[in-house]
Amino acid sequence: MPRFLSLMLLSVGLAAALTLSSCNKAAPSLAPTEPVSVAVTEVRRGDLGRTVDVTAEFLPWQNVEVHAKVSGYVKQMNVDVGDHVSAGAVLATLEIPEIEDEQKQAAAAVLTAQEQVKSMQAAKEESALMAKRLNAAAKESQDLIAQQDLDNANAKARADDANVAAAEEKVTEAEANAAHIRDMAAYATIYAPFDGVVTRRYADVGALVQAGTVQSGTTGGSGSMPLVSFAELKRLRLEFPVPEPDVAFVRVGDSVTVTVTALNRTFDAPVARFAQRIDPATRTMLTEVDVDNADFAFTPGMYATVRLELAQKKDVLTVPIQCVEAGESPYVLIVADGKIEKRPVSLGIETAERAEIVSGLEENDQVVIGNRGGLQPGEPVSQQVTESAL
């Protein structure tokens, strides 16, 4: 009996303990909840600008391939690749074997024509004198000179006068031909068209070159081999394409920022000109900046990055871009009176770092920055002010 009573008492004790434990677990906690800590930044005023970066390329200010104006053999090449040459300097001379014979023939033709004029002039003077005498005799005695003889003398005088004029015309033609041949002979010397640098040499001494013209860019017509490529490098063109959506913002004189990564150089320069048409293949507009290259620091073919400022606003309300929930109805979360508040906002221009607030916020409002997940309007929070650079 005592053993049975002990077991009964133990069972009752265990049941009481389980009941008490269950009651303790079901009891609600009365400890107060701490407000969530959030990072905020103040709405500030500042200057904003929307920019676009495009790739640009340095090109020569002028670039031509110099051809000979007459066909001939290269007698002398005075320049080579990399030579700096002043305008008017001799680049090369040609040997034109036929030109010397043509010059002699032209000079002989001029002399022959001049002698013909002298002969015609003497005949003219003789016939004019004869006609004058016959006319004077006819006036003194009408029966002394036959009218036929008088008419013949006057006709010969007029004919000799016309012959002199024709001979003088031949002299003019012969002199013009001689001058043309002299000019052709002068074309055997090829001069630099402007101050520049020889960027390529095509011909060597003894090479036969055909007549051509100074061509811009690549080689001339078929059968015409240039002597040298020649470029003006003391001033360069920096060409870059402006995307179609940004064309309306480009104006002559606007400043752009140029960064040449290869040289670790950055400088500002104004827009010099633009094409005023969009390339249908690339949907971009060609734009140029003039670059002083007197020290030859930049080389044609180098790439650069051009930053265009497409829109600028001064002293506007701004917030970090990560504060804004974008979409059809953009909004931000702010902390007011220690609680979360949702504020719809109207946005202006945006940069990679900040956004303009046109309406919806006031200066010094505290905007939630960073992770906003789980925050609900009206929720009490503890704000931690974070500095944010403009």
pLDDT tens, residue order, the chain (390 aa):
444 444 444 454 545 444 444 444 444 444 556 788 889 999 999 998 888 999 999 999 999 999 998 889 999 999 999 999 999 999 999 998 888 778 888 888 888 888 888 888 887 887 787 777 777 777 777 666 777 777 777 888 788 788 888 888 888 888 898 888 888 888 999 999 999 999 999 999 999 998 875 555 544 444 578 999 999 999 999 999 999 989 988 999 999 999 999 999 999 999 999 999 999 999 999 999 999 999 999 999 999 999 998 888 899 999 999 999 988 899 999 999 999 999 999 998 888 889 999 999 999 999 999 777 788 899 998 888 887 644
DSSP 8-state secondary structure symbol assigned to residue 28: P
Amino acid 201 reads: R
Distance CA 64, CA 86 (A): 15
State the pLDDT at residue 332. Answer: 94
Secondary structure (DSSP) of 60-129: EEEEEEE--SS-EEEEEE---TT-EE-TT-EEEEEE-HHHHHHHHHHHHHHHHHHHHHHHHHHHHHHHHH
Asked if 66 contacts 226 with a C-beta cutoff of 8 angstroms, the reply is yes
State the pLDDT at residue 140. Answer: 74
State the pLDDT at residue 286. Answer: 97
Residue 167 three-state SS:
helix
State the pLDDT at residue 118. Answer: 85
CATH number of the domain at 38-47+314-385, please?
A: 2.40.420.20
State the pLDDT at residue 7. Answer: 45
Q: Output the six-digit token pair for 235.
A: 């001033």
Asked if 353 contacts 321 with a C-beta cutoff of 8 angstroms, the reply is yes
Strand order in the sheet with 208-209: 189-191, 90-95, 72-77, 208-209
Distance CA 159, CA 123 (A): 10
Q: Output the six-digit token pair for 333.
A: 């979360």
Asked if 64 contacts 211 with a C-beta cutoff of 8 angstroms, the reply is no
Amino acid 100 reads: E
Domain ranges of the chain: 38-47+314-385, 52-58+234-313, 98-186
Q: Tell me how far CA of residue 37 lies from CA of 158, 187, 335, 340, in angstroms.
A: 122, 87, 11, 11
* Nearest alpha carbon to residue 50 among 249, 301, 277, 341: 249
Name 287's bridge partners: 240, 274
Burial (CB < 10 A; 0-12, 13-18, 19+), residue 195, is middle
CATH number of the domain at 52-58+234-313, please?
A: 2.40.30.170
State the pLDDT at residue 108. Answer: 87
State the pLDDT at residue 390. Answer: 47
